[in-house]
Structure 1
Amino acid sequence: MSAAAKRDVGLSKDALLKQYRKRLKDDVRSMSDNLSEIVKLCRIEDETQVVTATTAEDYALEMQVRASNMVRAGESLMKLVSDLKQYLILNDFPSVNEAIAENSNLFKDTQASCDRKLTDMRDEMATDLYELEEEYYSSSYK
């Protein structure tokens, strides 16, 4: 891989990680801000305050919207975790290279074992064939 290609991969990796950090901060901030606003709506400011039905409905609607925003941020965080897992699995080159090396060594050992067995079989067959030829040519029935 050329130096320019490595630099491009590094830049894209850094950019992707920065994007993940930004998503994390934004989603956590969204959850925190919406929860703070819901708590503020629940606070009773004056004991003698009479809340009209429309104000109560307005507060209830705002709470639902903020709760929906919190759910959306939570789902976004779950998607972020999934993306991070996928990124780790796909870009964990040392582990992938180690697994490839292990498989390569296993296959080389298997190949060497098969080669030894075939060589032994060839030698046994050559010996048996030699004995059969000896028997045939020394036989009185030919």
Structure 2
Amino acid sequence: MLKMNKGGGGMVGGAGGVAGPTAAAAAAAAQKQKTLLQRVDTDVGGLIDNFGFLVNVARVNDPPVRNSQESFMMEMRAARMVQAADSLLKLVSELKQTAVFSGFASLNDHVDQRTDEFNKLTEDTNSILTRIGEETAASLKELEHHYYSSTIRTPQP
């Protein structure tokens, strides 16, 4: 279920002081949310108004002219209700598409973030392995020097 915040546009503290594409994306998202909320309010308001009018007009009167006028008004109001309901259905479809595509964008951002983390770990591991290799080479050189200069290496008569 999608919950929309009718308060201040859903953004706490604006774009957080971040300039550039992130601020533009946040502003665009806030504007889109405001537009969607206005569409929902308009469509739901139209449904309620037209339904209320249908209920008020749905009484039976004796004069036939009045009944035909009321019938025409009821058909017109019912058509407007159908239009408002269709608009709400389109809005729901648009919200679903937005959720799917923004979900993919979020997933891609997460994958990129994890890739960067793993690349950093790879660099750290390579530098550690390089340092260990250098220390091992220095220790091996020192041990070779001690071995070749020791009395144990030379054969005893």
Q: Which runs of 5+ in 1 are unaligned?
A: 45-49, 105-142
Q: What's the counterpart of residue 76 of structure 1?
A: 87
Which gives a bigger RCO, structure 1 or 2 (Cα 8 Å, sep 6+)?
A: 1
Aligned length: 97
Partner of 1:39: 55
Aligned residue number for residue 63 of structure 1: 74
The equivalent residue for 2:120 is: none
- Provide the alpha-carbon RMSD of the alignment: 2.2
Match of 1:14 among 30, 33, 37: 30
Structure 2 CA distance for partners of 1:96 and 1:17, relative to 1, 3 Å: same
Separation (CA, whole Å) in 2 of partners of 1:16 and 1:52: 50
Which runs of 5 or more residues in structure 2 are unaligned? 1-17, 116-157
Counterpart residue number, 2:108: 96
Alignment map for 1:108-119 (pairs within 5 Å):
none
Superposition deviation, residue 86 in structure 1: 1.2
Q: Hey, what's the Cα distance between the residues in 2 that align with 1:78 and 1:100?
A: 35
- SS class of match (2:62): coil
Task: Give the Å deviation of 1:98.
Answer: 4.5
Shifted more, 19-28 versus 84-93: the winner is 84-93
Which TM-score applies when normalising by structure 1?
0.60
TM-score by length of 2: 0.55
